[in-house]
Amino acid sequence: MLVIYKLASVCAVALILIALFFFTHPVDVEYQWNRLAQGKNKPSHNGAVAGGMPLRMMFIGASVTRGEVSTGDRGYRKQLRDKLTSLGNPVNYVGFNRFGDFPDNDVEGYGAARIRQLRDHAEQAVPYLQPNLILIQVGTSDCFQKDDPVNILTRMRDLVEYLLEASPKATVIMSTLLTTPDLEAEPCMKSANAQIRQVATDLIREKKPVAIAEMHYDQGLPRRPRPEDIGGDRIHPTDEGYFMMGDIFMEKIREVEEKGFLKYPAENGIPEDGESSREVEDQLKEKAEKEHPLKT
């Protein structure tokens, strides 16, 4: 009997200590539940994306997409490639421009390009290269150049719809714009973001393989570039800001994986590994420039 009383006393003390811990250390029960549910129902994030599917990736945008002003002009593209290949995915970056101090640096990125200009570039490149994953970060130039920023929604929707039509196996990850310390331009950036979010919301509602990567810190999400993470030109992020962007895009790649959006790229001769050969891509570029010259 004495043993039972001692055991009951120990249990009572333990319960009191546990109660004190939870009262002094609040627990987000919903978060903990979701974390457990994800562990049971979602694929592990430690392995290759989509079982090691080849990722033929196209980055569309202006100077931020190119990675300008970052170390080696690598931006977030090299970071993403290194992460994906380390997980076991063959990766080939495709595009008719090349920029950045790393081997597989193909990109549809053009300095100071606006949405309407990138639509023309996409019309030349996408049908030939057939990417299965497209990351878009565009609209900053529309704001800074005051190119009809109130109608960004229309132009952005037209661009994304075209990409999905021209490359039927593609998944598109749209990105909102970064903040800027330029107090005159920041309201436009926020307005553009509202329009970009609306396009993404509408397309997702229509069951299109689209996701939105939130880059602006005003949405209250952690590890988003803030004004101090933007360089002196008020447009391009610091290296740390670019790293944040890469992490956000990686989260979204996992999201589209979990939703089952990713499809194997079309067979058109482009190798799975972008560092192995560029011969086919060079041939496709030459063909595209002859058959489909740029409008601008």
First vs last C-alpha separation in the chain: 92
Structural domains counted in the chain: 1
d(CA 57, CA 247): 16
Beta carbons of 162 and 198 less than 8 angstroms apart: no
Residue 115 placed within a domain: yes
Calculate the alpha carbon distances from 183 to 140, 174, 175, 186, 218 in Å. 14, 24, 21, 5, 15
Q: Which residue intervals of 106-225 are DSSP H helices?
A: 115-129, 140-144, 152-166, 186-205
Could you tell me if residue 6 is inside a domain? no
- Which of 191, 219, 221, 204 has the alpha carbon at shortest distance from 261? 204
pTM of the complete model: 0.85
Rounded Cα gap, residues 250 and 145, in angstroms: 30
Domain-located, residue 162: yes
What is the bridge-based pairing of β-strands 91-93 and 210-213? unpaired
Is 230's pLDDT higher than 70?
yes
**CATH number of the domain to which 169 belongs:** 3.40.50.1110
Q: Is residue 163 part of a domain?
A: yes
Q: What is the pLDDT of residues 104-118, one digit of tens each?
A: 999 999 999 999 999
Structure tokens at 139: 């609209």
Structure tokens at 36: 């457990």
Is 248 within a domain? yes
Q: How many Cβ atoms are within 10 Å of 269's Cβ, its own excluded?
A: 10
Residue 36 has pLDDT above 90, yes or no: no
Is 31 within the bounds of a domain?
no
Residue 37 inside a domain? The answer is: no
Residue type, 18: I
CA proximity to 46, closest of 37, 38, 54: 38
In a domain, 268, yes or no: yes
Q: Which domain holds residue 258?
A: 50-291
> What pLDDT is attached to residue 295?
81
For 160-178, how does the pLDDT look when each residue is reduced to its tens digit (9 = 90+)? 999 999 999 999 999 999 9
Q: What is the pLDDT of residue 22?
A: 42
Confidence of residue 33 (pLDDT cuts 50, 70, 90): very low
**pLDDT, tens digit (0-9, with 9 covering 90-100), for 50-80:** 999 999 999 999 999 999 999 999 999 999 9
